[in-house]
Structure 1
């Protein structure tokens, strides 16, 4: 994600993250080494952070013990995100962009004088904004009245991306549109998706609605979606629900069609990725298979089968194709945002370096072949961002429960089944990989956990199985060991599955 903070604010946030990572005291030396600053600077940073905390309602404070160091006292409701929002909103870049969005920015001199800042400091930050929005195919014109120049679609996309990634639903930034009024559109979105939205999804789309209505209210700007008119006819039900509502909100009659289409582009482009192995009730469009995002997805599937010797189930093929269509659609409609969305909705657990290298190079191989095709090359897609999506897609596909199988774990305890169930719950909580419990004598057991080093275990366990001896009541160190071993087994399994899936020629090229 982008960083619009000054050095001190960034350091304070990092300090809070370190202190909140464990419930113990951290020495000055330990903290200064982790933050790569002097002891004197560390002490000063803590003092400034304490001063900031006095103005917060957040349930957190720093405990100071001269000998032991510093400890963060966290009460119920503590959230690092709220602290991040505090510092983001205090930054010059945030305040300039917020005033531009709300049409309150007069000029640099006025902005600087109101905040007792120098003209040069404000101007330097505004230059950084120019670089930031260029990724969205936008320009910042530094004339007498500063304004963002570009298409209304991209301007809205930038403001939405900015607020969502900075605030993330913690606060409502849209001063001229009441959040409660936005909820009437959530029901329409849920009808469109044929399911109930999660809390985070609801907030996500509320921010989009707030962005649209604020722009229409303040700037009297209608969006132009003429280049996407080929999608008309794909959202008749959505149009029936949205059109009367927008007309009742004083949207110009000649702009409603474009606004409905814009909302459709948002709903289709930002729908969640499908998960491999889950039944999906939402049907992808079949009438638009000749559109460019479908063509690119087909090319991708062709390259995949050319590089991987793996047979996909029908369900996997549908999920993969659907995800590819959605991802390419979004990248073609909404340009830029890589610095904002690089890590959004993407989750790849820390892999073994060998697996990471295989994954990275396999993605580059597929992407390089795709971007040689004129139809794809001419789209000018964000190569870095699209490769991150490809990486996630390959990882999810080839490491799904269906392909990975389960890790077989045997737990030995003399305290009975009730205690055993508690121990099983501990093991399950230490990994996101599917766990199957079995007997320690099973030929394919992966991990044996016991509270005693019984000779029978040593004699009968297979040579491949890992062995952990933990305490009758597992300690934090015991649990950490379980986590490490499960991760090791999972990484080995992932590498094996991935290597087996690669074609020999591709494997040789990667090596």
Structure 2
């Protein structure tokens, strides 16, 4: 939704929030969650009510004074469908979609077809231009088209359609999904690689964008890291994916083959056999490619933080890091990188110590004065690295250890049950004592107030613990853990 303006973003977020639960939402609660002032929310609700009346049959806002607002919709109408319709009704989306599908459409034709005034059109265009400018792209008006390096333009369109539809709808009106499915299935069969349903749909979206650009005679003419693509990879494309580039003039085929390494690397290469991965890693090491050198510098710094984690030279993890670096260096200006922070926070909450180390390392690695090469923001690499590491290694044990003393007035069977529940439910590095109070205890947990000690170290809950008790305990322990970070 990066292409929506400030007003549209506010309305989008309100619809998304109040559509999550069948309940009346007080304006004060909406204000608290979304951090908008009540006046702005009331204005947005009025606009949403008008929008739903016009664009969403059988869906409406019900407002009860002093209680809140309720989004009434048919049970068989997914919230995603309402949000999708909202995004695709925006002028910015219509502009980008038109520039993709109708390369000869001119500005005047656009705003007359969509019954938009000339002044509104240029106002919306100006904001879209500002967004695209941050991605080092621009929107030309006569005819309407996004201008810039071809691989950046394609990725811009891919993210536009994936953010809006996420595979629920096939948005490419001029391209047969069935034909692409057949070609992709043939390719996957030849290379003997399995992709799940979402990964397959992402590949189909990317291929659709590529084919549409080819139909408009738009080909890759430059690629900053073309020398970082192993010859084994381009040969792999030639041997198995000829049908994917058979409509490309000869003079563009080499770069189009290398472009495909960007389009499919994040999905395909992590699934490569270890023998293939070792061969590719060796090539990068011999050539000392930039993605490899960054990965090597990272692993050196990582080893200093976690010396007992051994990563061998031919470990598949090297290839995963090289590919993440290749993507972030090849496509440095994607606007969607701004959304990575929210995804990163999901992992950061469970591994704050790891995040702190990775954040420091990536900030140093991708410092513009040191790298001398434009790249995606460090948070992108920090997030990618964290996902790869957490998937591979049990990192919880490296987080600050929490020493908990657990007591109960119930019998030992209940005590042991509570202990196992805490360890199972809370994704924290916890050591629980049930016999005595450790000398350096962080928290004493009990359902009885007879537990003695500093009240700052005592947590009283119910027996059996309620859902609220579990939430409070997790928040309390996370607060203690976060306070320990950097204290070693």
* Structure 1 equivalent of residue 220 of structure 2: 223
- C-alpha deviation, 1:181, in angstroms: 3.2
**Do structure 1's residue 477 and structure 2's residue 473 form an aligned pair?**
no
- C-alpha deviation, 1:201, in angstroms: 2.5
Cα distance in 2 for residues equivalent to 1:229 and 1:367: 21
TM-score between the two structures when normalised by the length of structure 2: 0.76
* Structure 2 equivalent of residue 297 of structure 1: 295
- C-alpha deviation, 1:145, in angstroms: 2.3
Q: String of CA shifts for 1:279-302, please: whole Å, max 9, x gaps.
A: 989836221222221123334445
SS at match of 2:174: coil
- Structure 1 264/109 Cα, relative in aligned 2: closer, same or farther at 3 Å? same
SS at match of 1:288: helix
* Structure 2 equivalent of residue 503 of structure 1: none
Alignment of 1:32-431 (within 5 A): 36-37=36-37, 42-43=41-42, 45-53=44-52, 62-72=61-71, 81-103=80-102, 106-142=105-141, 144-184=142-182, 186-187=184-185, 196-217=194-215, 219-224=216-221, 228=226, 231=229, 233-235=231-233, 236-244=235-243, 246-247=245-246, 256-268=253-265, 283=277, 285=280, 286-289=282-285, 290=287, 291-302=289-300, 308=304, 310-315=306-311, 318=315, 321-340=318-337, 342-343=339-340, 346-349=343-346, 362-363=360-361, 366-367=364-365, 371-373=368-370, 376-377=371-372, 379-382=373-376, 385-390=377-382, 393=385, 400-404=395-399, 414=410, 428-429=424-425, 431=426
Q: How many residues of Structure 1 are paired with residues of Structure 2 in the alignment?
A: 472
Q: Which structure has the higher relative contact order (CA within 8 Å, separation 6+)?
A: 1
SS at match of 1:137: coil
* Structure 2 equivalent of residue 505 of structure 1: none
SS at match of 1:311: coil
- Structure 1 426/201 Cα, relative in aligned 2: closer, same or farther at 3 Å? farther
TM-score between the two structures when normalised by the length of structure 1: 0.73
Cα distance in 1 for residues equivalent to 2:415 and 2:189: 46
- C-alpha deviation, 1:122, in angstroms: 0.9
- C-alpha deviation, 1:159, in angstroms: 1.3
Cα distance in 2 for residues equivalent to 1:206 and 1:413: 60
Cα distance in 1 for residues equivalent to 2:328 and 2:97: 25
Cα distance in 1 for residues equivalent to 2:150 and 2:21: 46
Cα distance in 2 for residues equivalent to 1:418 and 1:182: 58
- C-alpha deviation, 1:345, in angstroms: 9.0
1:332–1:381: 8 Å Cα contact kept in structure 2? yes
- Structure 1 327/37 Cα, relative in aligned 2: closer, same or farther at 3 Å? same
Cα distance in 1 for residues equivalent to 2:412 and 2:77: 38
- Structure 1 206/442 Cα, relative in aligned 2: closer, same or farther at 3 Å? farther
Q: State the superposition RMSD in angstroms.
A: 4.7
